[in-house]
Amino acid sequence: MLINIQDFIEFLRKTAQQGDQISQVVVPVRSEYADDTHTFFRPLTESNTPLFNSYRTVDPAKFLLYLPREQVFPAEQTKNRILAGVKACDLKALELLDAALLYDQFTDPAYKQWRDSTLIITSDCDDISSSCHCNLVNGQPFAENGYDLNLSQIKNDFLITVGSDRGDKLLDRIKSEIKTRKASESQRMQVEKQRKRIIERLTGQNKPYSRSSHYEKLRTIDPAPWQDESMTCIGCGACTHICPTCYCLILNDESKADQFIKQRSFDSCQYNGYARVAGGATPRPSMTERFRNRYLCKFDYMVHNFEKIGCTGCGRCTQACAGEIDFRQVVHNLQNMAIAVQ
Protein backbone atom coordinates (compact mmCIF):
# COMPACT_ATOMS: atom_id res chain seq x y z
CA MET A 1 0.00 0.00 0.00
CA LEU A 2 1.44 3.38 -1.03
CA ILE A 3 0.68 6.67 0.64
CA ASN A 4 2.00 10.17 0.02
CA ILE A 5 4.40 11.18 2.81
CA GLN A 6 2.91 14.64 3.38
CA ASP A 7 -0.59 13.20 3.46
CA PHE A 8 0.56 10.68 6.06
CA ILE A 9 2.15 13.37 8.25
CA GLU A 10 -1.01 15.46 8.08
CA PHE A 11 -3.02 12.38 9.03
CA LEU A 12 -0.82 11.92 12.11
CA ARG A 13 -1.18 15.61 13.05
CA LYS A 14 -4.95 15.45 12.66
CA THR A 15 -5.10 12.23 14.68
CA ALA A 16 -3.15 13.79 17.56
CA GLN A 17 -5.25 16.98 17.49
CA GLN A 18 -8.54 15.10 17.54
CA GLY A 19 -7.40 13.09 20.55
CA ASP A 20 -10.36 10.72 20.45
CA GLN A 21 -8.55 7.40 20.07
CA ILE A 22 -4.93 8.58 20.01
CA SER A 23 -3.94 11.41 22.33
CA GLN A 24 -0.31 11.79 21.25
CA VAL A 25 1.92 11.04 18.26
CA VAL A 26 5.66 10.88 18.88
CA VAL A 27 8.07 11.11 15.94
CA PRO A 28 11.79 11.63 15.21
CA VAL A 29 12.63 15.29 14.55
CA ARG A 30 15.92 17.01 13.88
CA SER A 31 17.85 18.61 16.67
CA GLU A 32 17.15 22.28 17.25
CA TYR A 33 20.89 22.86 16.90
CA ALA A 34 22.01 24.05 13.47
CA ASP A 35 23.89 21.66 11.17
CA ASP A 36 23.07 18.75 13.43
CA THR A 37 21.85 15.67 11.61
CA HIS A 38 20.77 13.83 14.75
CA THR A 39 17.10 13.29 15.53
CA PHE A 40 15.21 12.96 18.81
CA PHE A 41 11.76 11.60 19.63
CA ARG A 42 9.37 14.50 20.18
CA PRO A 43 5.57 14.93 20.16
CA LEU A 44 4.37 15.83 16.66
CA THR A 45 3.19 19.45 16.48
CA GLU A 46 2.31 22.00 13.82
CA SER A 47 5.80 23.46 14.07
CA ASN A 48 8.01 20.39 13.68
CA THR A 49 8.52 17.97 10.81
CA PRO A 50 9.24 14.28 11.32
CA LEU A 51 12.20 12.62 9.66
CA PHE A 52 11.29 8.96 9.40
CA ASN A 53 13.93 7.37 7.22
CA SER A 54 17.26 8.54 8.56
CA TYR A 55 19.21 6.43 11.06
CA ARG A 56 18.06 5.83 14.65
CA THR A 57 17.31 8.67 17.07
CA VAL A 58 19.75 9.81 19.75
CA ASP A 59 17.32 8.74 22.47
CA PRO A 60 16.21 5.09 22.39
CA ALA A 61 12.53 4.16 22.17
CA LYS A 62 13.06 2.65 25.64
CA PHE A 63 12.89 6.15 27.13
CA LEU A 64 9.22 6.35 26.10
CA LEU A 65 8.20 2.94 27.43
CA TYR A 66 10.51 2.38 30.39
CA LEU A 67 10.93 5.89 31.74
CA PRO A 68 14.12 7.04 33.50
CA ARG A 69 11.96 7.71 36.56
CA GLU A 70 8.31 6.84 37.03
CA GLN A 71 5.78 5.72 39.58
CA VAL A 72 5.17 1.99 39.20
CA PHE A 73 2.73 1.53 42.07
CA PRO A 74 0.08 2.59 41.83
CA ALA A 75 0.89 2.82 38.11
CA GLU A 76 -0.14 6.16 36.62
CA GLN A 77 -2.54 6.33 33.69
CA THR A 78 -0.81 6.27 30.31
CA LYS A 79 -1.89 7.87 27.04
CA ASN A 80 -2.96 6.03 23.92
CA ARG A 81 -0.34 7.09 21.45
CA ILE A 82 1.51 6.34 18.25
CA LEU A 83 5.29 6.03 18.38
CA ALA A 84 6.45 6.39 14.79
CA GLY A 85 9.89 6.19 13.19
CA VAL A 86 11.19 3.44 15.47
CA LYS A 87 14.18 1.63 13.97
CA ALA A 88 14.81 -2.09 13.83
CA CYS A 89 17.54 -1.88 16.49
CA ASP A 90 15.13 -0.28 18.97
CA LEU A 91 12.38 -2.76 18.10
CA LYS A 92 14.71 -5.71 18.82
CA ALA A 93 15.55 -4.04 22.12
CA LEU A 94 11.87 -3.89 23.03
CA GLU A 95 11.61 -7.62 22.36
CA LEU A 96 14.28 -8.17 25.00
CA LEU A 97 12.65 -5.76 27.45
CA ASP A 98 9.37 -7.61 26.92
CA ALA A 99 11.10 -10.87 27.86
CA ALA A 100 12.55 -9.26 30.99
CA LEU A 101 9.59 -7.19 32.15
CA LEU A 102 6.47 -8.97 30.89
CA TYR A 103 7.08 -12.62 31.62
CA ASP A 104 4.57 -14.79 33.47
CA GLN A 105 6.17 -14.67 36.92
CA PHE A 106 6.81 -10.93 36.94
CA THR A 107 5.23 -8.04 35.10
CA ASP A 108 6.33 -4.44 35.47
CA PRO A 109 2.90 -2.71 35.62
CA ALA A 110 4.07 0.66 34.28
CA TYR A 111 6.01 -0.84 31.36
CA LYS A 112 3.02 -3.04 30.48
CA GLN A 113 0.71 -0.04 30.41
CA TRP A 114 3.01 1.85 28.06
CA ARG A 115 3.42 -1.18 25.79
CA ASP A 116 -0.34 -1.80 25.66
CA SER A 117 -1.16 1.84 24.94
CA THR A 118 1.56 2.48 22.34
CA LEU A 119 1.16 1.63 18.68
CA ILE A 120 4.59 1.13 17.07
CA ILE A 121 5.30 2.31 13.52
CA THR A 122 8.79 1.37 12.36
CA SER A 123 10.67 2.81 9.40
CA ASP A 124 13.57 1.58 7.28
CA CYS A 125 16.98 3.20 7.72
CA ASP A 126 18.14 4.99 4.59
CA ASP A 127 21.27 6.32 6.29
CA ILE A 128 23.69 5.11 8.97
CA SER A 129 25.59 6.80 11.77
CA SER A 130 29.32 6.27 12.24
CA SER A 131 28.63 3.88 15.13
CA CYS A 132 25.72 1.86 13.69
CA HIS A 133 26.60 -1.84 13.57
CA CYS A 134 23.42 -3.91 13.59
CA ASN A 135 24.99 -6.12 10.91
CA LEU A 136 27.55 -7.34 13.50
CA VAL A 137 24.79 -8.68 15.81
CA ASN A 138 22.62 -10.43 13.22
CA GLY A 139 20.43 -7.37 12.73
CA GLN A 140 19.09 -5.56 9.69
CA PRO A 141 18.52 -1.83 9.01
CA PHE A 142 14.81 -2.55 8.64
CA ALA A 143 12.24 -4.25 10.85
CA GLU A 144 11.18 -7.77 9.92
CA ASN A 145 8.43 -8.35 12.50
CA GLY A 146 7.12 -7.11 15.84
CA TYR A 147 5.81 -3.78 14.49
CA ASP A 148 2.24 -2.60 13.93
CA LEU A 149 3.05 -0.78 10.68
CA ASN A 150 6.34 -0.33 8.80
CA LEU A 151 7.28 2.51 6.46
CA SER A 152 9.66 2.19 3.50
CA GLN A 153 10.24 5.41 1.58
CA ILE A 154 9.94 5.45 -2.21
CA LYS A 155 10.56 9.02 -3.40
CA ASN A 156 7.56 11.03 -2.09
CA ASP A 157 5.63 7.99 -0.88
CA PHE A 158 5.74 5.41 1.88
CA LEU A 159 5.24 1.74 1.17
CA ILE A 160 3.25 0.63 4.21
CA THR A 161 3.54 -2.93 5.52
CA VAL A 162 1.10 -4.23 8.14
CA GLY A 163 2.51 -6.28 11.03
CA SER A 164 -0.38 -6.70 13.48
CA ASP A 165 -4.14 -6.48 13.95
CA ARG A 166 -3.69 -3.05 15.55
CA GLY A 167 -1.73 -1.94 12.52
CA ASP A 168 -4.41 -3.30 10.21
CA LYS A 169 -7.07 -1.25 12.03
CA LEU A 170 -4.94 1.89 11.83
CA LEU A 171 -4.42 1.32 8.11
CA ASP A 172 -8.19 1.04 7.66
CA ARG A 173 -8.52 4.44 9.34
CA ILE A 174 -5.80 5.88 7.12
CA LYS A 175 -7.55 4.58 4.00
CA SER A 176 -10.84 6.10 5.15
CA GLU A 177 -9.31 9.57 5.38
CA ILE A 178 -6.65 9.85 2.70
CA LYS A 179 -5.91 8.42 -0.71
CA THR A 180 -3.80 5.27 -0.92
CA ARG A 181 -2.51 3.32 -3.90
CA LYS A 182 -1.42 -0.23 -4.54
CA ALA A 183 2.34 -0.64 -4.85
CA SER A 184 3.73 -2.09 -8.05
CA GLU A 185 6.23 -4.93 -8.20
CA SER A 186 8.93 -2.53 -9.42
CA GLN A 187 8.34 -0.30 -6.41
CA ARG A 188 8.72 -3.27 -4.07
CA MET A 189 11.94 -4.14 -5.84
CA GLN A 190 13.12 -0.58 -5.28
CA VAL A 191 12.65 -1.03 -1.54
CA GLU A 192 14.74 -4.20 -1.66
CA LYS A 193 17.50 -2.33 -3.52
CA GLN A 194 17.48 0.46 -0.95
CA ARG A 195 17.76 -2.03 1.88
CA LYS A 196 20.61 -3.83 0.15
CA ARG A 197 22.43 -0.51 -0.32
CA ILE A 198 22.28 0.26 3.41
CA ILE A 199 23.42 -3.26 4.31
CA GLU A 200 26.42 -2.80 2.00
CA ARG A 201 27.28 0.50 3.72
CA LEU A 202 27.05 -1.14 7.14
CA THR A 203 29.19 -4.05 6.00
CA GLY A 204 31.87 -1.72 4.64
CA GLN A 205 31.85 0.54 7.68
CA ASN A 206 32.10 -2.31 10.18
CA LYS A 207 34.54 -4.55 8.32
CA PRO A 208 37.42 -3.55 10.68
CA TYR A 209 35.33 -4.75 13.64
CA SER A 210 34.33 -8.16 12.29
CA ARG A 211 34.48 -10.92 14.89
CA SER A 212 33.45 -14.42 15.84
CA SER A 213 29.91 -14.89 17.16
CA HIS A 214 31.14 -17.33 19.86
CA TYR A 215 30.70 -14.73 22.57
CA GLU A 216 30.85 -17.31 25.37
CA LYS A 217 34.63 -17.11 25.03
CA LEU A 218 34.61 -13.60 26.49
CA ARG A 219 34.30 -15.23 29.91
CA THR A 220 37.63 -16.99 29.52
CA ILE A 221 39.72 -13.85 29.06
CA ASP A 222 42.17 -12.93 31.82
CA PRO A 223 41.64 -9.70 33.81
CA ALA A 224 44.57 -7.81 32.24
CA PRO A 225 43.00 -7.25 28.77
CA TRP A 226 39.78 -6.04 30.41
CA GLN A 227 41.87 -3.58 32.41
CA ASP A 228 43.50 -2.30 29.22
CA GLU A 229 40.17 -1.85 27.43
CA SER A 230 38.58 -0.05 30.39
CA MET A 231 41.51 2.31 30.90
CA THR A 232 39.57 5.46 29.94
CA CYS A 233 36.24 4.43 31.46
CA ILE A 234 35.15 6.84 34.19
CA GLY A 235 32.05 4.90 35.27
CA CYS A 236 29.64 7.69 34.35
CA GLY A 237 26.90 5.24 33.33
CA ALA A 238 26.12 7.01 30.03
CA CYS A 239 26.51 3.73 28.12
CA THR A 240 23.95 1.88 30.21
CA HIS A 241 21.42 4.70 30.39
CA ILE A 242 21.46 5.23 26.61
CA CYS A 243 21.46 1.48 25.87
CA PRO A 244 18.04 0.34 24.56
CA THR A 245 18.26 -3.02 26.36
CA CYS A 246 19.63 -2.02 29.80
CA TYR A 247 16.91 -2.03 32.44
CA CYS A 248 18.73 -2.06 35.81
CA LEU A 249 16.66 -0.15 38.31
CA ILE A 250 16.47 1.16 41.82
CA LEU A 251 13.08 1.05 43.54
CA ASN A 252 12.33 3.70 46.13
CA ASP A 253 9.57 3.61 48.70
CA GLU A 254 8.05 7.10 48.64
CA SER A 255 4.88 6.22 50.53
CA LYS A 256 2.89 8.88 52.32
CA ALA A 257 0.76 8.53 55.43
CA ASP A 258 -2.29 7.57 53.43
CA GLN A 259 -0.79 6.06 50.27
CA PHE A 260 1.68 3.31 49.35
CA ILE A 261 3.94 4.56 46.52
CA LYS A 262 6.85 2.96 44.67
CA GLN A 263 9.08 4.93 42.29
CA ARG A 264 11.37 3.19 39.79
CA SER A 265 14.52 4.93 38.50
CA PHE A 266 17.34 3.93 36.17
CA ASP A 267 20.39 2.47 37.86
CA SER A 268 23.70 1.49 36.29
CA CYS A 269 26.03 -1.46 36.86
CA GLN A 270 28.85 0.96 36.06
CA TYR A 271 28.33 2.97 39.24
CA ASN A 272 30.65 2.39 42.18
CA GLY A 273 27.70 2.00 44.53
CA TYR A 274 25.72 -0.40 42.34
CA ALA A 275 24.59 -3.50 44.29
CA ARG A 276 26.42 -2.28 47.40
CA VAL A 277 24.79 -3.67 50.53
CA ALA A 278 24.14 -1.96 53.86
CA GLY A 279 27.34 -3.34 55.37
CA GLY A 280 29.38 -1.66 52.63
CA ALA A 281 30.35 -4.77 50.64
CA THR A 282 30.03 -4.65 46.85
CA PRO A 283 30.32 -7.51 44.35
CA ARG A 284 32.37 -5.51 41.84
CA PRO A 285 34.54 -2.92 43.64
CA SER A 286 36.84 -2.05 40.69
CA MET A 287 35.96 -0.20 37.49
CA THR A 288 37.46 -3.01 35.42
CA GLU A 289 35.13 -5.56 37.02
CA ARG A 290 32.11 -3.36 36.33
CA PHE A 291 33.27 -2.74 32.76
CA ARG A 292 33.63 -6.50 32.21
CA ASN A 293 30.21 -7.09 33.71
CA ARG A 294 28.51 -4.88 31.10
CA TYR A 295 30.00 -6.80 28.18
CA LEU A 296 29.28 -10.18 29.72
CA CYS A 297 25.72 -9.04 30.47
CA LYS A 298 25.17 -8.29 26.77
CA PHE A 299 26.83 -11.38 25.33
CA ASP A 300 26.48 -14.01 28.06
CA TYR A 301 23.96 -13.30 30.81
CA MET A 302 21.18 -12.05 28.52
CA VAL A 303 21.75 -14.93 26.11
CA HIS A 304 21.45 -17.33 29.05
CA ASN A 305 18.30 -15.64 30.43
CA PHE A 306 16.46 -14.61 27.26
CA GLU A 307 18.18 -16.48 24.41
CA LYS A 308 18.97 -13.11 22.85
CA ILE A 309 22.14 -11.04 22.56
CA GLY A 310 21.75 -7.86 24.62
CA CYS A 311 23.28 -5.65 21.94
CA THR A 312 21.22 -4.55 18.93
CA GLY A 313 24.02 -2.63 17.24
CA CYS A 314 22.56 0.86 17.65
CA GLY A 315 25.99 2.23 18.62
CA ARG A 316 24.61 4.81 21.05
CA CYS A 317 27.01 3.71 23.84
CA THR A 318 29.98 4.49 21.62
CA GLN A 319 28.71 7.99 20.83
CA ALA A 320 27.80 8.70 24.46
CA CYS A 321 31.09 7.49 25.96
CA ALA A 322 33.09 10.23 27.68
CA GLY A 323 36.16 7.98 27.52
CA GLU A 324 35.82 7.57 23.72
CA ILE A 325 35.53 3.79 24.02
CA ASP A 326 34.24 2.15 20.84
CA PHE A 327 32.04 -0.80 21.84
CA ARG A 328 32.72 -2.56 18.53
CA GLN A 329 36.48 -2.24 18.95
CA VAL A 330 36.41 -3.68 22.47
CA VAL A 331 34.41 -6.74 21.42
CA HIS A 332 36.62 -7.18 18.35
CA ASN A 333 39.82 -6.99 20.41
CA LEU A 334 38.64 -9.31 23.14
CA GLN A 335 37.09 -11.87 20.82
CA ASN A 336 40.29 -12.10 18.79
CA MET A 337 42.26 -12.47 21.99
CA ALA A 338 39.99 -15.25 23.27
CA ILE A 339 40.38 -17.17 20.02
CA ALA A 340 44.17 -16.69 19.98
CA VAL A 341 44.66 -18.24 23.43
CA GLN A 342 42.61 -21.37 22.70
The rounded mean pLDDT for the chain is 94
The predicted-structure confidence for 266-307, as pLDDT tens digits, reads as follows 999 999 999 888 898 998 999 999 999 999 999 999 999 999
pLDDT of residue 217: 86
Residues 6 or more apart in contact with residue 183 via CB below 8 angstroms: 1, 2, 154, 159
Cα separations in angstroms, 72 against 25, 30, 82, 105, 263 = 23, 31, 22, 17, 6
342 falls in which pLDDT band (50, 70, 90)? low
More confident residue, 18 or 161: 161
- The yes-or-no verdict on residue 34 having pLDDT over 60 is no
35 falls in which pLDDT band (50, 70, 90)? low
Which residue type is seen at 36?
D
pLDDT of residue 307: 94
Whether the Cβ atoms of residue 295 and residue 334 lie closer than 8 Å to each other: yes
Q: 223: cis peptide before it, omega within 30°?
A: no
287-292: long-range pairs with CB below 8 Å, 24+? 287/230, 287/233, 287/235, 288/223, 288/226, 288/227, 288/230, 290/235, 291/226, 291/229, 291/230, 291/233, 292/223, 292/226, 292/230
103 falls in which pLDDT band (50, 70, 90)? confident
pLDDT of residue 20: 82
- The yes-or-no verdict on residue 252 having pLDDT over 60 is yes
CA nearest 61: which of 81, 85, 89, 90?
Answer: 90
pTM score, whole prediction:
0.94
The distance between the two most distant Cα atoms of the chain, rounded to a whole number of Å, is: 68
Cα 250 to chain centroid, rounded: 21
336 falls in which pLDDT band (50, 70, 90)? confident
Residue 235: what are its φ and ψ, rounded to 5°? 65, 35
- pLDDT > 90 in the chain, percent: 85
The predicted-structure confidence for 178-187, as pLDDT tens digits, reads as follows 999 999 999 9
How many other C-beta atoms are found inside a 10 Å radius of the C-beta of residue 166? Answer: 14
As beta bridge partners, residue 62 has none
For residue 250, give the 3-state DSSP assignment: strand
pLDDT of residue 68: 96
The predicted-structure confidence for 122-173, as pLDDT tens digits, reads as follows 999 999 999 999 999 999 999 999 999 999 999 999 999 999 999 999 999 9
